[in-house]
Structure 1
Amino acid sequence: MSDKTNPGNFFEDFKLDQEIRHATPRTVTAGDVALYTALYGPRFPVQSADSFARRLGLRAAPVDDLLAFHIVFGKTVPEISLNAVANLGYAECRWLAPVFAGDTLHTISRVIGLKENSNKKTGVVYVRSQGYKESDELVLDYVRWVMVKKRDESAVITDERVPKLIDHLPADRLRLPMGLNFAQYDWTLAGSRHGWEDYEPGEKIDHVDGMTIEESEHMLATRLYQNTAKVHFDQHRQGQDKLGRRLVYGGHIISLARALSFNGLGNAAFVVAINGGRHVNPTVAGNTIYAWSQVLDKAELDGRTDAGALRIRTVAVKDQPAAGFPDKDSTGKYPDSVVLDLDYWVVMPKREKRRR
């Protein structure tokens, strides 16, 4: 049998501190942006209109922050998660520079942790992945951990380590696009009148709207990012799994939740960091996604009078409106309806006229 195909890495193939340079570089195009908009319907104005972005000092509308994330993430799948059971979580994720149509992205990962599961059939791989432009400018830096199958259940794993990750990024580590200034922000065209001052820690927002996932859409989205994970595409294979269905890529749920959050967080102009995230329960085609958010914290940004940061927790729910704010119980157990729990920082313009 030919050995020219890539079977993907199994848990015992990973080594601590291993560096992986991922194929294939990807040039982001206006077509990618249009397709992303068609799939999720995001309406955040800075990413929607060149004219709006230029008023704020940018050269054009940047691509959606999560589109850049998914492309950088997708590069890692053939080496990191082709044989994954599930992607488990994210931490220490920062956007460090905007991405524009025409930029070419590539990704480098380092294995920072390994932990075999007690069943000896799988293990958890922790990686720090970094996305770069063709100029080697760093645009994204994040950690994720993924459960990966073992090729040989009898293989002995001796080199293990669980990395220590911070609970959340402090506001002084957040970075805004160079040249950005919200002094000329058009609140009418933005579609929401609520600025940074209008939100308070503890406040909960039901984003009201729902979006049903179609089989063809979630697979099209995942292919857009060149994510080749088998669990998203191969129904013959997945039909033999206990769920019996293709799983929706977790990033697809993140993008749906972000798009839905416009209704209530319409001026959350940029996602600048992800502090932590969990895909709590699986999602399949036919599920309808709703979302609610809670303001966890708000922070001034050093040297900025035009904008502040909000730390947001967004919970995505399947087949259940979010008006009741479904959440984990006192023991930390989530109801089956909750599919995503995401903690992240956004940047929002201020309405007060204190700009210099």
Structure 2
Amino acid sequence: MVKTNSGRFFEDYAVGQTINHAAPRTVGQGERALYQALYPARHALYSSDLFAQACGLRESPLDDLLAFHVVFGKTVPDVSLNAVANLGYAEGRWRQPVYVGDTLRSSSEVIGLKQNSSGKTGVVYVRTCGMNQRDEIVIEFVRWVMVRKRNIAEPAPEAVVPKLIKAVDPKALIIPDGLNFSNYDFDLAGETHRWGDYSIGEVIDHVDGVTLEEAEHMMATRLWQNTAKVHFDATFRPDGKRLIYGGHIMSLARTLSFNGLANAQIIVGLNGGAHANPAFSGLTIRAWSEVLDKAETVVPGVGAIRLRLVATRGGSPFERLDSGGKYLSDVLLDLDYWALMPV
């Protein structure tokens, strides 16, 4: 009797299927310390209890992307263990802060399937929810991933491609309970730029760069319990390289964005995202952001800003696409998100 599990392949999924993922995880200060060591994150709200309390929260939450990685990592053995690539994100919302001592678990619903023309792979669309120990949804998002087929001769399923919204309505963004920026300390935050200082269409060069290290990537991937073969097994890809987890690039780019966006404290919405090109150790990545939109919120003094965060490995600054609308080869990440900022 076979007791091991080689993971799901494309033909193992069905629209409407619900998958409850294994290994709930209680998160603590260790995760915070490792997160800040790996990236290193500097947003004040996630670094200081006193700063967070001055902003109306009970204590400093764990970083929004840390919560994303933990919830995402749970899904990998069931959704993307045999993935070729994680392709994109949409309809993401952070609904509750995650605090030290919370226990997170994940569940995903298959909402779309489409076999690729080669017949060797297909795209699986899932809607994932991360819940805490009180059964509150802390984060939800849609992602789609290209997965290998086990049997190329297996007939293609009926194609179902979900209709996804292009951006989360700012009125649907959830402001953490108690958040109040009336006592916000701009000196401690690191920059003086408020919500009103940014203009739609403005582009911000985050200036700094960081070189991807194999050891750091492997530590991060293990930390998030991401078991995708492309990240661990150098024999899994024809080129013999281990693919850098796309979320690792997300957190590095977000960290780089501190320089120019230090007051974009809280990520509350994920409108879209694409890992445009693969990343490998040894590359030096840089980042820039474009202000796409701004919106007032129901909380006085708190504004929402919509940002496009682009991570590159060099090349022409502030460009993403070629004349044909395809991503330039130097673009690694294109992330569209909403953040909260003091007005």
TM-score band by shorter chain is: over 0.9
Q: 1:330 deviation in Å? A: 3.3
Aligned match for 2:256, one of 254, 260, 269: 260
Q: Is the 8 A contact 1:210 1:321 kept in 2?
A: no
Q: Give the 3-state SS of the residue equivalent to 1:183 in structure 2.
A: coil
Q: Is the 8 A contact 1:8 1:82 kept in 2?
A: yes
User: What is the aligned partner in structure 2 of residue 186 from structure 1?
Assistant: 185
Q: 1:308 deviation in Å? A: 0.5
User: What is the aligned partner in structure 1 of residue 136 from structure 2?
Assistant: 137
Which one-letter code corresponds to 1:325 in the other structure?
A: F
1:250 aligns with 2:249: no
Q: Give the 3-state SS of the residue equivalent to 2:258 in structure 1.
A: coil
Query: 2: CA distance between counterparts of 1:187 and 1:336?
Result: 38
Deviation track 1:202-257 (CA, whole Å, cap 9, x = no partner) reads 0000000001110010011011110100100111333xx1x331000000000001
| Identity fraction in percent | 59
1:163 aligns with 2:159: no
Which one-letter code corresponds to 1:130 in the other structure?
A: C
- Where do residues 172-321 of structure 1 align in structure 2 (5 Å cutoff)? 172-238=171-237, 241=238, 243-302=239-298, 304-318=299-313, 320=314
User: What is the aligned partner in structure 1 of residue 54 from structure 2?
Assistant: 55
C-alpha spacing 1:78/1:306, structure 2 compared with 1 (3 Å): same
Query: 2: CA distance between counterparts of 1:205 and 1:26?
Result: 36
Unaligned 5+ segments in structure 2 are none
Q: 1:321 deviation in Å? A: 6.7
Q: Give the 3-state SS of the residue equivalent to 2:51 in structure 1.
A: helix
Deviation track 1:28-81 (CA, whole Å, cap 9, x = no partner) reads 010011000000011100001011001111111000000000000000000000
Q: Is the 8 A contact 1:128 1:142 kept in 2?
A: yes
User: What is the aligned partner in structure 1 of residue 115 from structure 2?
Assistant: 116
Query: 2: CA distance between counterparts of 1:334 and 1:120?
Result: 24
Q: Is the 8 A contact 1:290 1:321 kept in 2?
A: no
- Where do residues 327-342 of structure 1 align in structure 2 (5 Å cutoff)? 327-342=320-335
Query: 1: CA distance between counterparts of 2:157 and 2:77?
Result: 24
Q: Is the 8 A contact 2:173 2:268 kept in 1?
A: yes
Structure 1 outlier segments of 4+, above 3 Å: none
TM-score by length of 2: 0.98
Deviation track 1:250-293 (CA, whole Å, cap 9, x = no partner) reads 00000001000000001001010110000000000001110000
Aligned match for 2:319, one of 319, 326, 331: 326
Q: Give the 3-state SS of the residue equivalent to 1:73 in structure 2.
A: helix
Which one-letter code corresponds to 1:329 in the other structure?
A: D
Which one-letter code corresponds to 1:249 in the other structure?
A: Y
Q: 1:305 deviation in Å? A: 2.0
User: What is the aligned partner in structure 2 of residue 346 from structure 1?
Assistant: 339
Query: 2: CA distance between counterparts of 1:81 and 1:19?
Result: 15
Which one-letter code corresponds to 1:296 in the other structure?
A: L
Aligned length: 343
Which one-letter code corresponds to 1:247 in the other structure?
A: L
Query: 1: CA distance between counterparts of 2:189 and 2:128?
Result: 33
Query: 1: CA distance between counterparts of 2:321 and 2:291?
Result: 17
Q: 1:182 deviation in Å? A: 0.7
TM-score by length of 1: 0.95
Query: 2: CA distance between counterparts of 1:237 and 1:231?
Result: 6
Q: Give the 3-state SS of the residue equivalent to 1:69 in structure 2.
A: helix
Query: 2: CA distance between counterparts of 1:219 and 1:326?
Result: 30
